C-alpha cells in the first residue's frame, strides 16, 4: 500500500470519481518523479542548444498523454511528438501550449483544417502531400503560414521522400503559399543495434541531403535525427533536437546502452487479490487445465487479465510480487483474472496488493522481462495496458 506521504491522483480514464484509486481491482501507477528524473538525465546528455522532443504518441506509450506531457515540459522537454491529429488535439484541449509535431502522415482536408485550427505542426512526406496542404489552406483562406516538417527517408523505408530528392522536395515546399519549413528530419532504423553499419550509412545520407539543400541557398532552421537509442549512442546525431520516446519512460532501447544514463521505469501495474482458497493435488486450474496442482496448494485469484493487457502467452510463465516475494502465476490467464500459487504465504489476505510490473521491496519485474519471455519488445508491452485500468499519478 502507498504511504500517506505519497501524493496520488487518478489522472485519466476511466472516470473514477465515485471510487478512490485504492478501491480499484487493478490500476497502473505512473511515477512522476521517475519521469522527471529521466527527462533531466537525457537533457544532461544534450548541449544547451539542442532541444528535447518528448514523444507522447500512443497515449504516452500507455502512461497517460496529458499528465506525461505536462510533467516532461516542466522537466526540460520543449517539444511534444504525437502520431495522429486527435492525439495532438487532446493535448491542446488540456491547455498545453508547447509546439506539437504530428509524426504521422496527414492528407485529408478535415485533418489539415484541424491542424491549422489547433496550431499543430505536420510532417510532409512527399511532394503530393505538400501540394494537398497548400491547396487546402488556400481554399480556407488562411492568413498565416503553417510550420511544416520535411521528412526524408534515409533508409527506414517507411514515411518520407527519398533523401536523394531532398533538394527538389525542399524547393517545392519553399515555393508553395501558406507553408513554412520548420525543420528537416529523418528516422533511424537500427540505432538500437550494436552494429553501427546501417546507422552510420543513414547518418551519411542525411548529411548529404542537408548539404544538397544548403547548396540551393536554403538553410533549414532545425535538424533532428536521433530517437532514444541514437540520443544515448552518439552525440553527433543530436543536431538541433532529439526525439526521445522509450527512454523518457525509463527503459533502454538495448542492453549495450544501459551504462550511458541512469533511467528509472515510470510505470507499475498493480492489482488486488480477490479470493484465496486451497485446492487439492491433481486439481486443474483455469481454462484447458494447462496447470495441474502437483500437491495441495494455496491459490489466490487476482482481478486482472488479458482484457487489461496482460499477455495470455505469459500463462504459466510469469511471476508477480507480493510482500517483496516472487510468486508464480498458474493456469491460463483469463480475460479478467489470473491465479497464483501462494502456498508459501499462508496468511495472505483478500485485498492484498499484487505487483505485476514494478518494484516491491528488493524485487523488481520490468516490461523488459516480459518482452524477453515473449520474444517481443518493451514498447509493445508498455502500449498494451488497456483503458479500463485507471492511471494513478504517484509522486
Q: Residue 24 contacts by C-beta under 8 Å, 6 or more apart in sequence? A: 16, 272, 390
Q: How many CB atoms lie within 10 A of CB 344?
A: 10
The full DSSP string for 93-124 is: HTT--S-EEEEEE--SHHHHHHHHHHT-EEEE
Tell me the catalytic residues: 57, 287
| DSSP conformational letter for 231 | H
What phi and psi values does residue 229 have, to the nearest 5 degrees? -60, -45
User: Could you tell me the CA-to-CA distances from 374 to 141, 158, 311 in Å, in that order?
Assistant: 52, 26, 9
> Which value, in Å, is the radius of gyration of the alpha carbons in the chain?
24
- Give the span between the Cα atoms of 86 and 106, in whole angstroms: 11
b/e sequence 276-300, b meaning 16+ C-beta within 10 Å: beebeeeeebbeeeebebeeebbbb
User: Could you tell me the CA-to-CA distances from 207 to 90, 152, 182, 294, 311 in Å, in that order?
Assistant: 35, 11, 18, 63, 42
- Give the span between the Cα atoms of 258 and 261, in whole angstroms: 7
Overall residue count recorded for the chain in this entry: 395
User: Could you tell me the CA-to-CA distances from 240 to 26, 133, 220, 222, 229 in Å, in that order?
Assistant: 42, 26, 10, 6, 16
Q: Residue 335 contacts by C-beta under 8 Å, 6 or more apart in sequence? A: 305, 306, 307
Task: Name the pairing type of β-strands 363-365 and 353-360.
Answer: antiparallel
Say if residue 149 is exposed, middle or buried (CB neighbours under 10 Å; 0-12, 13-18, 19+).
Answer: buried
Amino acid at each position: 500500500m502507498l504511504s500517506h506521504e505519497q501524493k496520488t491522483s487518478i489522472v485519466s480514464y476511466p472516470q473514477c470519481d465515485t471510487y478512490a484509486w485504492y478501491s480499484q481491482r487493478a490500476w497502473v501507477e505512473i511515477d512522476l518523479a521517475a519521469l522527471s528524473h529521466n527527462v533531466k538525465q537525457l537533457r544532461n546528455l544534450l548541449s544547451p542548444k539542442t532541444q528535447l522532443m518528448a514523444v507522447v504518441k500512443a497515449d504516452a506509450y500507455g502512461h497517460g498523454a496529458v499528465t506525461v506531457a505536462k510533467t516532461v515540459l516542466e522537466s526540460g522537454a520543449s517539444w511534444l511528438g504525437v502520431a495522429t491529429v486527435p492525439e495532438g488535439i487532446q493535448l491542446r484541449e488540456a491547455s498545453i501550449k508547447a509546439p506539437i509535431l504530428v509524426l504521422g502522415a496527414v492528407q485529408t482536408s478535415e485533418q489539415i483544417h484541424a491542424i491549422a485550427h489547433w496550431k499543430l505542426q505536420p510532417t510532409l512526406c512527399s511532394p503530393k502531400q505538400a501540394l494537398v496542404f497548400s491547396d487546402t489552406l488556400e481554399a480556407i483562406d488562411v492568413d498565416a503560414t503553417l510550420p511544416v516538417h520535411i521528412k526524408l527517408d534515409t533508409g527506414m523505408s517507411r514515411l518520407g521522400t527519398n533523401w536523394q530528392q531532398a533538394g527538389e522536395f525542399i524547393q517545392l515546399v519553399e515555393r508553395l503559399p501558406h507553408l513554412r519549413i520548420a525543420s528537416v528530419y529523418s528516422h533511424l532504423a537500427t540505432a538500437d543495434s550494436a552494429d553501427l553499419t546501417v546507422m552510420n550509412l543513414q547518418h551519411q545520407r542525411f548529411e548529404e541531403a542537408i548539404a544538397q539543400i544548403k547548396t540551393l541557398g536554403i538553410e533549414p532552421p532545425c535538424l533532428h535525427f536521433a530517437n532514444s537509442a541514437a540520443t544515448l549512442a552518439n552525440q553527433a546525431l543530436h543536431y538541433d533536437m532529439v526525439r526521445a520516446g522509450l527512454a523518457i519512460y525509463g527503459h533502454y532501447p538495448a542492453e549495450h546502452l544501459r551504462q550511458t544514463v541512469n533511467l528509472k521505469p515510470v510505470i507499475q501495474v498493480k492489482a488486488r487479490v480477490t479470493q484465496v482458497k486451497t485446492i487439492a493435488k491433481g486439481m486443474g486450474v483455469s481454462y484447458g487445465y494447462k496447470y495441474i496442482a502437483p500437491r495441495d496448494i494455496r491459490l489466490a485469484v487476482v482481478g486482472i487479465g488479458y482484457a487489461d493487457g496482460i499477455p495470455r502467452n505469459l500463462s504459466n510463465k510469469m511471476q508477480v510480487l507480493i510482500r517483496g516475494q516472487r510468486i508464480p502465476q498458474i493456469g491460463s490467464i483469463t480475460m479478467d483474472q489470473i491465479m497464483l500459487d501462494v502456498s508459501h504465504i499462508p496468511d495472505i489476505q483478500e485485498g492484498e496488493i499484487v505487483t505485476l510490473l514494478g518494484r516491491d521491496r528488493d524485487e523488481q519485474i520490468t516490461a523488459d522481462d516480459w518482452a524477453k519471455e515473449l520474444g517481443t519488445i518493451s514498447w509493445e508491452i508498455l502500449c498494451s495496458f488497456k483503458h479500463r485500468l485507471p492511471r494513478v499519478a504517484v509522486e
